[in-house]
């Protein structure tokens, strides 16, 4: 890479790459579309290669663009590390605003929060909890520096990168009167759904659709705004629920719920980072590193 390559051009290049469209990158970078196009063309002239293939569906990186992305991301990471290192003392007294969806906040984040508190005891930590749409909205509004959501959604101005895997397990209350054996049996069995905007609901709906089962609430179903409410409703015999394997242990141990085998339905999902388009620095970068180093449940 030429020594004179403009870091600002690299930032615009990454914005286009990560958003997949010139228009979305322009909004994220607070630039006009012609300005973004001009920056990419300037970078291509300096390197002497085409970096993107354009189509009506957006842009995709060429082989050269994919190679440049590796260096550009390393450059962005190096700058963030330098800021964290030089500003370390200030970081220790800073504040980190996080946002996470409910399952992640309750069952995957506590060990990470403990490690962060041990590493940065003087830093103030604020965690907002909501569904995946809420997390994305907080990140876009600048109310959170870093988020964690269920699945790999798409949202302009926000990047999503996998963190760890999870599985949603179908369960019934211990004394529930149903014993489904096939996916077809779910057609007449009440289901318990999370609210619209929930990542859990979206993942379950997609899995049911792939299996050929109904994938939206019916007249006998319930919609509930938290996993604990769904677990309680399932334990009370109100229907079949899909709960995170990470959250099931206490319910199974207490005998309130029983898993439903034999449906031929595997509901896997990914817990993902929701990241600002400009990358991470400071406490947010430290938190992500600790989270990536913390073993999963």
Identify the CATH number of the domain defined by range 94-164+270-293: 3.40.190.10
pLDDT (0 to 100) of residue 1? 45
CB neighbours of 52 closer than 8 A, spacing ≥ 6?
16, 17, 40, 59, 60, 61, 62, 65
165-268 CATH choice from 3.90.79.10, 3.40.50.2000, 3.40.190.10, 1.20.950.20: 3.40.190.10
For the record, the structure tokens of 19 come out as 């958003």
Segments making up each domain of the chain, as ranges: 7-86, 94-164+270-293, 165-268
For residue 2, pLDDT beyond 80? no
| Range scoring the smallest mean pLDDT among 25-29, 66-70, 99-103 | 25-29
- What is the rounded average pLDDT of the residues 210-239? 93
Distance CA 43, CA 5 (A): 8
Distance CA 162, CA 133 (A): 17
Distance, CA of 35 to chain centre? 30
pLDDT by residue (tens digit) across 24-40?
A: 888 877 788 888 999 99
Under DSSP, is residue 99 helix (H, G, I), strand (E, B) or coil? Answer: strand
Q: What are phi and psi of 126, to 5 degrees?
A: -125, 125
pTM of the predicted model as reported, rounded to 2 decimal places: 0.63
Domains 94-164+270-293 and 165-268 equal at CATH topology level = yes
CB neighbours of 49 closer than 8 A, spacing ≥ 6?
62, 64
For the record, the structure tokens of 223 come out as 């919609």
Distance, CA of 171 to chain centre? 25
For residue 82, pLDDT beyond 50? yes
A 10 A CB-CB count for 99 gives 26
**Confidence at 227, pLDDT banded by 50, 70, 90:** confident
> CA dihedral in degrees (219, 225, 229, 234; nearest 10)?
30
pLDDT (0 to 100) of residue 123? 93
For residue 173, pLDDT beyond 70? yes
In angstroms, the Cα distances linking 19 to 163, 189, 249, 280 are 19, 41, 38, 17
Instruction: Measure CA of the first residue to CA of the last residue in the chain; give whole Å.
Output: 41
Architecture of 7-86 per CATH? Answer: Orthogonal Bundle (1.10)
């Amino acid at each position: 890479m030429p020594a004179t390559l403009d870091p600002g051009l690299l930032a615009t290049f990454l914005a286009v790459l990560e958003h997949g469209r010139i228009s979305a990158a322009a909004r994220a970078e607070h630039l006009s579309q012609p300005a973004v196009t001009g920056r990419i063309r300037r970078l291509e002239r300096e390197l002497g290669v085409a970096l993107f293939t354009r189509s009506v569906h957006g842009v995709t990186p060429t082989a050269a663009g994919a190679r440049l992305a590796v260096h550009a991301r390393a450059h962005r990471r190096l700058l963030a590390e330098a800021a964290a290192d030089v500003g370390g003392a200030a970081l220790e007294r800073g504040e980190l605003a996080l946002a996470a969806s409910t399952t992640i906040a309750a069952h995957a984040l506590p060990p990470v929060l403990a490690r962060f508190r041990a590493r940065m005891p003087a830093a103030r930590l604020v965690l907002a909890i909501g569904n995946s749409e809420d997390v994305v909205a907080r990140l876009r509004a600048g109310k959170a520096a870093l988020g964690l959501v269920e699945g790999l959604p798409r949202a302009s101005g926000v990047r999503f990168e996998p963190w760890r895997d999870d599985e949603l397990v179908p369960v019934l209350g211990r004394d529930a009167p149903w014993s489904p054996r096939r996916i077809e049996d779910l057609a007449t069995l009440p289901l318990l759904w999370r609210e619209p905007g929930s990542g859990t609901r979206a993942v379950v709906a997609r899995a049911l659709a792939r299996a050929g089962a109904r994938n939206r609430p019916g007249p006998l179903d319930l919609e509930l705004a938290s996993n604990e409410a769904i677990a309680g409703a399932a334990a009370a015999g109100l229907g079949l629920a899909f709960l995170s394997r990470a959250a099931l242990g206490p319910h199974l141990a207490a005998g309130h719920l029983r898993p439903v085998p034999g449906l031929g339905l595997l509901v896997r999902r990914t817990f993902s980072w929701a990241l600002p388009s400009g990358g991470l620095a400071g406490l947010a970068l430290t938190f992500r590193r600790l989270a990536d180093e913390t073993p999963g449940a």
